[in-house]
Amino acid sequence: MTRLTRAVAATALACSLALTAGVATATAADAPAPGARAAAAHPARPAALPAPTGPHAVGSTVLPLVDRSRTDPWVPTADGRALMVTLHYPAARSGGSPAPYATREEARLLAEQLGPGVSGDVLARTRTHSRTDARPAPGRHPLVVLSPGFSVSRWTLTSLAEDLASRGYVVASVDHAYESFGISLPGGRTLTCVACEALDEDGVHGSVVTTTRAADVRYVLDRLVGPRSVWRHADAIDARRIGMAGHSIGGASAATAMAADRRIDAGINMDGAFWEELPAEGLRGRPFLMLGTHDETHLPGGADTSWGRTWSALDGWKRWITLAGSDHFSFSDGPVLSRHFGLPEPELSADRAVALTRTYVSAFFDRHLRGLPRPVLDGPSAANPEAHFQNP
């Protein structure tokens, strides 16, 4: 995985928090990144995610799914395509126990990649702001699907998921089988990252990931908003208003999923290279946001040329916003975890990274799934000087 991480970073197509692992395990001869700190001794207390900013309490439930109509591309002998989905949703202000962040095994496997300063046990106990199986708040709410970066799990987007839920969205965060360092299934089984080796050593193209994830999302939507939903509170979802966002290759998958499934009304790519070209008809007029780093990778004309090609192919409302001082994992829980465990940090602080990601993601979905005016999307603002609007 170290070789994959370095190769991806070198070509500015990093796929996930695995980039952090490459920094944390670099040799002493490597120059530290701006603002980097040496890895601290294991903190005894767990980190706490930033509190959600919306008016609703947040409920959480986990749904294990298996699509037996498909062969898993990474392990063809598997019994279908396994998916783990965490739903965050607006909740009534009563009931439920605190929702866990990750299983101990999932956290242990990621901690091994992040360096000796990270304790898997402490990582697993990261404090969330949602309650397990709490009663949903009244009403019908737009649905947002979240897809994580390559090699990490759905729970690395928990801060964003909880914030969206507190603002009135049902959020389905999806773990894709064999594409994470560790995904815990019911019964104690853990899936590891078979796809990591396939991309690193076998030369499999990233489009296999995005196409597979698009099919995963189609299945998740079928099971959530189709007949005989797997969630007993499915009437809380407004199936006429669906969005998708993802980090890294999960963001690229949002565009691929939109092209394949007309039910998805709006999409966001957070700092991911696009591995597939959009069809000739683009996204049929549907809105799309590209939210990325303000550097040689994702500025217009940058190393990731897929952003310029995709921008030209987008045929609906669109924005290309870059955040000064951010790095690849600023759009996930990465900044909070890096700060807590003493891992290298970019110039943009953890608090600002979380606030900016929440601001622009929620504003986009408010505008395009709810029809609410959100002037923050119209251009630069004094309140957010880090955000730069690109118009190539």
Helix, strand, coil percentages (3-state) for the chain, rounded to 5, are 35, 20, 45
Give which of 72, 85, 90 is closest to 224, Cα–Cα. Answer: 85
3 vs 51, residue with greater confidence: 51
Q: Residues 295-312: what's their mean pLDDT?
A: 97
Checking if the pLDDT of 311 tops 70, the result is yes
Q: Residues 32-37: what's their mean pLDDT?
A: 38
State pLDDT tens for residues 157-179. Answer: 999 999 999 999 999 999 999 99
pLDDT computed for residue 3 by the predictor: 30
pLDDT computed for residue 115 by the predictor: 86
d(CA 140, CA 228): 17
Tell me the HSE value of 91 on the side-chain side, using a 13 A CA sphere: 26
The separation between CA 122 and the C-alpha centre of its own chain, rounded to angstroms, equals 21
Q: Is 343 exposed, middle or buried (0-12, 13-18, 19+ CB in 10 A)?
A: buried
Q: Give the CA dihedral 152, 186, 222, 317, nearest 10 degrees.
A: -20
114 vs 32, residue with greater confidence: 114
Give which of 113, 147, 132, 144 is closest to 25, Cα–Cα. Answer: 113
Q: Could you list the beta-strand ranges (E) of the chain.
A: 57-67, 81-91, 131-132, 141-147, 170-176, 183-184, 190-191, 237-247, 266-270, 288-293, 318-323, 387-390
9 vs 214, residue with greater confidence: 214
Q: Any idea which residue has 């091994």 for tokens?
A: 112
State pLDDT tens for residues 198-224. Answer: 998 888 999 999 999 999 999 999 999
Q: Any idea which residue has 């005989």 for tokens?
A: 228
Average pLDDT, the chain: 90
pLDDT computed for residue 31 by the predictor: 32
Give which of 14, 198, 19, 219 is closest to 114, Cα–Cα. Answer: 19
pLDDT computed for residue 1 by the predictor: 31
Checking if the pLDDT of 79 tops 90, the result is yes
Checking if the pLDDT of 274 tops 60, the result is yes
State residue 185 phi and psi, 5-degree precision.
Answer: -105, 160
pTM of the model: 0.91
Helix (H, G, I), strand (E, B) or coil at 291: strand
pLDDT computed for residue 42 by the predictor: 65
Lowest-confidence pick of 89-103, 204-218, 336-350, 370-384:
89-103
d(CA 2, CA 332): 21
Q: Is the distance from CB of 289 to CB of 367 less than 8 angstroms?
A: no
pLDDT computed for residue 202 by the predictor: 83
Checking if the pLDDT of 74 tops 90, the result is yes
d(CA 156, CA 271): 15
Q: Residues 53-70: what's their mean pLDDT?
A: 97
